[in-house]
Amino acid sequence: MKILHVETGRHLWGGAQQVLYLVNGLGRLDIANVLVCTEGSAVSDNAPKDCLVVALPMAGDLDLAFVGRLKAVLKAQQPDLVHVHSRRGADPLAAIAARLAGVPVIVSRRVDNAENRWLARLKYRLYQKVIVVADGIRDVLLAEGVPEDRLRLVHSGVDQRRFKPNPDRDWLAAHLGVAEDTIVIAMVAQYIHRKGHHIMLDALPAVLEKHPNLQVLCCGSGAEQAALAAQIERRGLAEHVRLLGFRDDLEKILPCCAMALHPALSEGICGAALQAQSCGVPAIASRVGGLPEAVAEDISGLLVSPGDAEQLSCAILRLLDDEELRRRLADAGPGYVAERFSISAMVQGNLEVYREVLNRH
């Protein structure tokens, strides 16, 4: 079996990392993989050595010439199936290229934002199957009229060999200058509006009244970084909220945190929340999209209403003030992730969809 993957995102964020996990896992099962990505992307730089990487120019959703470029790759590589991962330009342009080349094509849907109902029904007809990473995403597509028999649920995976409960506060002090008596909270998300940084900032003053020795470490990157920094400064929160930018050492940072926040307004399934729980760190997330699947309420974390800063501050204080609750949620996190979000289960789930499509094809 030979699978051609299309991932045109430039950065190694959650979805792109899942693609690399998948390609690596399939390679161990002797599945041949070709990874089509954008020139100069972090994805191409981190691909497994046994995976053929083809870097193509990609100018975005309106780069119609991408269809021809990808079709040429399909003709040269002759894959059995095309798996489209990124929505940046590749969706639905890659599906059109695959259809023109006579190759079956599937897509992974990782976000829960609504689309135009008429366009969604038309677009998803291009794919033999649509893999959703959360039931919340499936519900959105069903509401848009996508047939249920076209949808398959495959949860994302977490590398628990990397993300594990091994806090090292000496490392945190040496690399980030965080004092031993500082309460550390993580928020790992792109600096964009829907991730809810502004809600975290609204919630923070009430928390600081009781716990002034607290810092929120915001790891990520995005278009709103400068605006977010200005907002932090304007609110007088610079001592308590730090924008660390994109980090490739989250496995060091997360275990040292009292909790992880993800107050998103919309979300597919949050890899950072899963990574935190895998590290034995409770997560507080919004009750939107796939987050209620990623965070087991009162088992491995807490859920709050989206956009509700007061609920968020109450949840943070609840965890900070109830050491027994915090320890119970922390202890349950790694097992919850192992049971539902292992990389091996994710790889097998995708492989089952491949076989289903190819058998019918």
CA distance 286 to 263: 5
Q: In this predicted structure, what is the pLDDT of residue 168?
A: 95
| Whether residues 188 and 100 fall in one domain | no
Host domain of residue 141: 2-157+342-360
Which pLDDT tens digit goes with each residue over 10-60?
777 778 889 999 999 999 999 999 999 888 778 878 878 888 999 887 877
Q: In this predicted structure, what is the pLDDT of residue 185?
A: 98
Burial of 95 (0-12, 13-18, 19+ CB in 10 A): buried
Six-digit token pair at 126?
A: 């291009």
| Whether residues 210 and 334 fall in one domain | yes
| Whether residues 74 and 105 fall in one domain | yes
Mean pLDDT check: name the lowest of 111-115, 220-224, 319-323: 111-115
| Whether residues 39 and 26 fall in one domain | yes
| Whether residues 223 and 318 fall in one domain | yes
Q: Considering the domain boundaries, does residue 164 fall inside one? A: no
| Whether residues 150 and 204 fall in one domain | no
Q: In this predicted structure, what is the pLDDT of residue 233?
A: 96
The residues, any chain, with a CB within 8 Å of residue 329's CB and separated by 6 or more, are: 282, 298, 299, 300, 301, 302, 319
Q: 192 phi and psi, to 5 degrees? A: -135, 160
Q: Considering the domain boundaries, does residue 162 fall inside one? A: no
Residue 118: pLDDT over 90:
no
The three-class DSSP label of residue 280 is coil
Domain count, the chain: 2
Q: State if pTM tops 0.85.
A: yes
Q: In this predicted structure, what is the pLDDT of residue 239?
A: 95
Q: Considering the domain boundaries, does residue 107 fall inside one? A: yes
How many residues does this entry show for the chain?
361
Q: In this predicted structure, what is the pLDDT of residue 90?
A: 59
| Whether residues 145 and 190 fall in one domain | no
| Whether residues 311 and 346 fall in one domain | no
| Whether residues 129 and 144 fall in one domain | yes
Six-digit token pair at 41?
A: 């992307």
User: In 223-308, where does DSSP find H-type helix?
Assistant: 225-234, 250-253, 271-278, 291-294
Q: Considering the domain boundaries, does residue 356 fall inside one? A: yes
| Whether residues 148 and 276 fall in one domain | no
Q: Considering the domain boundaries, does residue 8 fall inside one? A: yes
The three-class DSSP label of residue 8 is coil
| Whether residues 57 and 201 fall in one domain | no
Residue in 48, 31, 35 with CA at minimum distance from that of residue 9: 35
| Whether residues 82 and 132 fall in one domain | yes
Neighbours of 66 (CB within 10 A): 24
Which pLDDT tens digit goes with each residue over 169-193?
999 999 999 999 999 999 999 999 9
Which pLDDT tens digit goes with each residue over 198-250?
999 999 999 999 999 999 999 998 889 999 999 999 999 999 999 999 998 99
In CATH, what number is assigned to the domain containing residue 142? 3.40.50.2000
Mean pLDDT of the chain: 92
Q: In this predicted structure, what is the pLDDT of residue 108?
A: 93
